Structure 1
Amino acid sequence: MAIILNLETATTNCSVSISKDDKVVVLKENNAANYSHSEQLHVFIKEALEEASLLFSDLDAIAISKGPGSYTGLRIGVSAAKGLCFSLDLPLISIPTLQSMAHQVQLEPGEMVIPVLDARRMEVYACVYNNDYQEIRETRAEVINEASFADYVSGHKVYVAGSGAEKCRGVLQHPNFVFNDSVVPSAKQMAPIAFQKFKSNQFEDVAYFEPYYLKDFVLQQKKKKN
């Protein structure tokens, strides 16, 4: 049995789960309006282990949501995951944030899901998955317009899910688009993906692993008052 600690910090949802094989046994999360990962992440890890009656020494791997997402949130999560891997001599598993989001949508044959995270202005981070949750278009940062995702709309529903869904709703007009802005990255959906990677030894190099920011971090400076 593989016991995996899953950490999700790519958005405002600070989320921690412990899974045994592909099943979640404990989930601790808080999707606050503001980022609270620096205060809550290690508390949630400690509480999750206690609730599962486990010790750090019982863990077999650490899984981290690698992005895209918030620069600060990703840094906090990845730093925590790497610290645990180094100190406990555990393998590190990385999971694309949009991939775990896609698994929150139940799909029928022929349907697709486009997980979208809100970025600046009319921009989103997006990827496209088929009904087997296989990636059929890579993750991109893109500005939404009337032609966005037109290649993936046919006779089946295409779910646009995540924090970027609302801005897409006002632009994408095809009737087969279904919008769901309630999908939030969570450590719950990381569990089955992490287990499959664990079984196939798909581990990261802990020393060199970095989050997938997709875009360079831009520091917003306050405007000077006249």
Structure 2
Amino acid sequence: MAKILALDTSTDACSVALYLDGEVKEDFRVIPRQHTQQLLPMVQAILADAELAIADLDAIAFGRGPGSFAGIRIATGVAQGLAFAAELPLVPVSTLAAIALQQHQQGHERVIAALDARMDEVYWGAFRLDAGLPVLVDQERVDAPANVALPDEHVWHAAGSGWRYLEDMSAAIQSAVNEPDVECYPRAGSMASLAAAAFEKGDMVAPEDALPVYLRDEVAWKKKDQQ
């Protein structure tokens, strides 16, 4: 089986995980503004515990966003540096999909994952469970809370820090969502599992082609192009 290292620094949490022999080992810490200092030591520790070197891996996964601009750049840069040095492919993983997978594992088949995007906006995406994995419905978005919408009439579970804006969302959302899991962070452990599935399908990129996904930047450029 594939040996995959996963990294995430997209929120106040910093996490690393190792997918090995079908099992996931993870180091997860909520350490705001300490990602730069802690990420590499965490990587070194989890590899040392498994008696592995970077060169022993098959791929490296990272949280490609959306999330904190600075945080996403940290994970992307570290993953690229490690991959270049060991000539490994990278697997970019959606932070929202990572949240959705955690909720799927708790028994929720349909999940709307949302992260606080600051500036009174949220990053969000709806995911349904298919063959044990989250599948994105439509696309990931950045919106004002009032614009978050239910994809259909099914029951949807809500998770992620963006749901702290629930009171600013539509009446339809407020009536449909009950006790969202606002403390659910993207985690490297979930990303490692998603990356393993992607690796098996050959969904990897070269280090130089691995890009963060900001969403807000993409929306800004689209609006500019439409002017």
State the TM-score, normalizing by the size of structure 1: 0.86
The match for 2:164 among 166, 179, 182 is: 166
Letter in 1 for 2:26: L
Distance 1:96 1:21, change over 3 A: farther
**Deviation string for 1:9-52 (max 9, x for gaps)?**
1111110001115420x2112112x2211000000000101111
Could you say if the C-alpha distance between residues 130 and 50 of structure 1 is closer, same or farther in structure 2, counting changes exceeding 3 Å? same
Amino acid at match of 1:3: K
Q: Is the 8 A contact 2:121 2:144 kept in 1?
A: yes
Say whether 1:188 aligns with 2:189. Answer: yes
Q: 1:6-21 alignment to 2 at 5 Å?
A: 6-21=6-21
Q: Provide the residue aligned with 2:143 in structure 1.
A: 142
Instruction: Give structure 1 stretches of 5+ with no counterpart.
Output: 218-226
Can you list the C-alpha shifts for 1:194-213, whole angstroms capped at 9, x where unaligned? 11111111111311322011
Matched ranges for 1:116-131 at <5 A? 116-131=114-129
C-alpha distance in 1, partners of 2:215/2:16? 23
Q: Is the 8 A contact 1:29 1:44 kept in 2?
A: no
Q: 1:82 deviation in Å?
A: 0.5
Q: Which has the larger radius of gyration?
A: 1
How many correspondences in the alignment?
Answer: 211
- Match in the other structure for 2:28: 29
CA distance in 2, matches of 1:11, 1:114: 18
Cα separation, partners in 2 of 1:17 and 1:108, compared to 1, 3 Å: closer
1:90-109 correspondence to structure 2 within 5 Å: 90-106=88-104
- Look up the equivalent residue of 1:12 and give its one-letter code: D
Offset of residue 182 of structure 1: 1.4
Matches of 1:12 and 1:141 in 2, distance apart? 19
Give the % identical residues.
33
How far is 1:158 from its partner? 1.3
What's 2:213 paired with? 212
Change (3 A) 1:184 1:130: same
Deviation at 1:172, TM superposition (A): 4.2
Measured in 2, the distance between the counterparts of 1:183 and 1:35 equals: 19
Q: Quote the RMSD (CA, aligned, Å).
A: 2.0
Secondary structure of residue in 2 paired with 1:7: strand
Counterpart amino acid of 1:141?
A: V
SS at match of 1:62: strand
Q: Matched residues in 1 for 2:122 and 2:4: separation?
A: 30
Residue deviations 1:66-107 (CA, integer Å, cap 9, x gap): 001111111111111011111001111111111111011137
Which structure 2 residue ranges, 5 or more long, are not aligned? 219-227
Quote the residue 1:222 is aligned against.
Answer: none
The alpha-carbon distance between structure 1 residues 21 and 66, as it changes in their structure 2 partners (threshold 3 A), is farther
For 1:165 and 1:127, how far apart are their aligned partners in 2? 12
Structure 1 segment 52-131 matched on structure 2, within 5 A: 52-106=50-104, 111-131=109-129
For residue 213 of structure 1, give the secondary structure of its aligned residue in structure 2.
Answer: coil
Residues 157 and 63 of structure 1, relative CA distance in 2, 3 Å threshold = same
